[in-house]
């Protein structure tokens, strides 16, 4: 089935879109997406192909995740997310094992944001979450982003402690992509419990990177924004 998936993806390759995507996802030397290769396929098209091949085996998915081409990895993750949603607990454990064994291939922000909360976060909702704290101090940018984005699954359950704890760990991270992710998750906390977000911000806003803070207070009133931005 792997060969069929690849063939269907390659039929949709678009050189002009690939060039745009390569720039958007920062693939030049020294940038976060260095050496990532794009075919120029839209996410909706990848979702359609993933739906067509939702019966792909774990071996097929491993091959997709290990490929240097970005759309192969993304399509593999879409299939894996759908499998997770439809699986029982024992099968979900196998999916988590596969995801964690191939975590190094979840190596751009869209790959993280598509899969982290829907697979790892969803699995950990009622389990020990210490793995996320370990990932939050990883030297790997994408593991750190996975650690915070995974907590979106808990936020959706109106549980915020882990998000706030990991946000604190990542407060001094040097990467803009982490600042954006933490700010995003804090904003999601605020959508459900604004006081919880405000309490956290009042303790930490003076030390937060500006991008993180701007993302966190995006939905606030102008007067609230003015208060928190006036360090």
Whether residue 137 sits in one domain with residue 196: yes
Q: Please, how many CA atoms are within 13 Å of residue 198, restricted to the half-sphere of its CB?
A: 11
CB 109 within 8 A of CB 141: no
pLDDT of residue 34: 87
Q: Which residue ranges of the chain lie beneath pLDDT 70?
A: 231
pLDDT digits (tens, 9 = 90+) for 120-142: 999 999 999 999 999 999 999 99
| Gap between the Cα atoms of 162 and 124, Å rounded | 11
Given the structure tokens 């091949």, which residue do they identify? 53
- Tally the domains of the chain: 2
pLDDT the model gives residue 191: 97
Those residues whose C-beta lies under 8 Å from the C-beta of residue 146, and which sit 6 or more positions away, are: 103, 106, 112, 116, 120, 135
Given this model, what pLDDT does residue 35 score? 87
Dist CA 222 CA 220 (whole Å): 7
37: DSSP letter: B
C-beta of residue 188 within 8 angstroms of C-beta of residue 155: yes
- For residue 88, the enclosing domain spans 1-105
- Within this chain, do residues 171 and 202 fall inside the same structural domain, yes or no? yes
Say which DSSP state 105 is in. Answer: G
Neighbour-count burial of 28, counting CB atoms closer than 10 A to its CB (0-12 exposed, 13-18 middle, 19+ buried) = exposed
The Cα–Cα gap between 98 and 193 comes to: 34
- In this structure, is residue 114 part of a structural domain? no
Predicted pLDDT at 146:
98
Quick one: 138 and 210 in the same domain?
A: yes
Quote the pLDDT of residue 155: 98
Q: Quick one: pLDDT at residue 1?
A: 87
> Do 182 and 97 fall into the same domain?
no
- Region of residue 35 (left: phi > 0; alpha: psi -120 to 50; beta: else): left
Residue pointed to by tokens 């909702």? 125
Q: What is the pLDDT of residue 202?
A: 95
Domain-embedded: residue 173: yes
Claim to verify: residue 142 and residue 48 sit in the same structural domain: no
How confident is the model at residue 187, as a pLDDT?
98
User: pTM score > 0.85 for this model?
Assistant: yes
Q: Give Cβ neighbours of residue 193 (< 8 Å, ≥ 6 apart).
A: 158, 160
pLDDT at residue 15 in the model: 95
In a domain, 122, yes or no: no
- Cβ partners under 8 Å of residue 221, min gap 6: none
Domain-located, residue 112: no
Are residues 99 and 135 located together in one domain of the fold?
A: no
In a domain, residue 121? The reply is: no
Q: What is the pLDDT of residue 230?
A: 84
Q: How far apart are CA 20 and CA 120, in angstroms?
A: 30
Based on the fold, state whether residues 70 and 156 are members of the same structural domain: no
Angle at 230 between CA 228 and CA 231, to 5 degrees: 90
| 181 in any annotated domain | yes
C-alpha R_g of the chain = 19
Residues 148 and 94 in one domain: no
């Amino acid at each position: 089935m792997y060969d069929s998936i690849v063939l269907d993806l390659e039929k949709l390759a678009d050189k002009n879109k690939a060039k745009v995507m390569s720039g958007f996802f920062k693939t030049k030397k020294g940038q976060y997406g260095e050496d990532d290769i794009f075919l120029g396929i839209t996410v909706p098209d990848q979702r359609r192909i993933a739906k067509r091949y939702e019966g792909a085996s774990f071996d097929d998915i491993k091959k997709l995740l290990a490929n240097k081409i970005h759309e192969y990895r993304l399509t593999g993750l879409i299939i894996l997310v759908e499998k997770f949603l439809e699986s029982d607990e024992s099968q979900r454990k196998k999916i988590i094992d596969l995801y964690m064994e191939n975590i190094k291939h979840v190596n751009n922000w869209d790959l993280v944001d598509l899969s982290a909360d829907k697979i790892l976060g969803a699995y950990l909702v009622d389990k020990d979450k210490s793995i996320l704290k370990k990932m939050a101090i990883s030297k790997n940018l994408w593991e750190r982003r996975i650690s915070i984005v995974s907590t979106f699954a808990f936020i959706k359950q109106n549980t915020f402690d882990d998000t706030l704890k990991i946000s604190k760990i990542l407060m001094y991270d040097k990467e803009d992509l982490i600042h954006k992710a933490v700010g995003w998750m804090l904003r999601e906390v605020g959508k459900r419990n604004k006081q919880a977000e405000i309490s956290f911000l009042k303790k930490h806003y003076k030390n937060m990177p500006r991008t993180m803070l701007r993302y966190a207070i995006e939905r606030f009133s102008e007067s609230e924004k003015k208060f928190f931005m006036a360090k």
